[in-house]
Amino acid sequence: MGGNVRPSIMLGASYVVAALLLQSCSGEAPKPVPTPTARATAEAADTRLVLAFGDSLYAGYGVLPQQAFPYVLEQKLRAAGIASSVRNAGVSGDTSAAGLRRLAFTLDGLPRKPDLAIVGLGGNDMLRGIDPKETRANLDAICAELKKRGIGIVLTGMRAAPNLGPDYVRAFEGIYPDLAKKYDAALDPFFLEGVVTNPALMLPDRIHPKPEGIVRIVDRVEPVVEKALTRTPAKAGVR
């Protein structure tokens, strides 16, 4: 998230929001060591490219780059035996509309088409009181573009501050499951689940997680991403 938010809505911010080379003794000539270029090419062919496309919760507001959600997720996937590169395309303060405007530019700037896009936008829309119809339309367009390009989708949802009223909460929180169903996307219903209500896991602003909170989030989200990747065949080099 990030950026300026209404003080009245800030009061609801506590809402429910990681070579060994063996030499032969047989006298055979050792196999040639791959050049750096060859290693990079082989890695690119085997590595799953994941785009983390979101706001400050993805960008890593208030934490070091290696503590941010995309990096921690990448390490968790690798520890699970999945060669992966998770690109951090989080922008602090981004609304769903801003995300939609930069989506094509972001995708076209990647070395190849990603195997999967994790989309986490809408939180700043909610904090600004933007009509959920607008948020829905923007996220729908983002999912449609990803689907058109043959990119798998994981949606990470957000909850609305209760002080926005039951109608707003109902309309906003329905966006994520509806779009997940429409686009056959994997869904993590609430990105900050089990974290936002624990002050020990949140920064003083009560909106963004501490590194410990991010680890907790990744522990929950990684299986969702891993399962989504198994549904998405690798397409190395495909644009």
Q: Give the pLDDT score at 121.
A: 99
Catalytic residue flag (residue 208) = yes
Residue tagged active-site, from 46, 131, 205, 219? 205
Q: Give the pLDDT score at 8.
A: 37
Q: Give the pLDDT score at 47.
A: 94
At position 170, the amino acid (one-letter code) is R
* Global confidence as pTM: 0.82
At position 36, the amino acid (one-letter code) is P
Sheet holding 152-156, edge to edge: 84-90, 48-54, 116-120, 152-156, 186-188
Interhelix angle 166-173/132-148, rounded to 10 degrees, is 0
Q: Give the pLDDT score at 46.
A: 80
Residue tagged active-site, from 56, 85, 92, 96? 56
The encoded tokens of residue 65 equal 């780059």
Residue tagged active-site, from 84, 92, 115, 208? 208
Average pLDDT per run of 10 along the chain, which is 239 residues long? 45 38 32 39 72 98 98 98 98 98 98 98 98 99 99 98 98 99 98 98 97 99 97 61
Catalytic residue flag (residue 56) = yes
Distance of CA 70 to the CA centre of its chain: 6
Q: Give the pLDDT score at 7.
A: 36
Q: Give the pLDDT score at 232.
A: 73
Q: Give the pLDDT score at 234.
A: 66
Selection from 76, 59, 77 nearest residue 68 by Cα: 59
DSSP 105-151: HHHHTSSS--SEEEEE--HHHHHTT--HHHHHHHHHHHHHHHHHTT-
The encoded tokens of residue 125 equal 């829309």
Q: Give the pLDDT score at 195.
A: 98
Domains by residue range for the chain, with CATH = 46-230 (3.40.50.1110)
Q: Give the pLDDT score at 108.
A: 98
Question: N- to C-terminal Cα distance for the chain?
Answer: 30
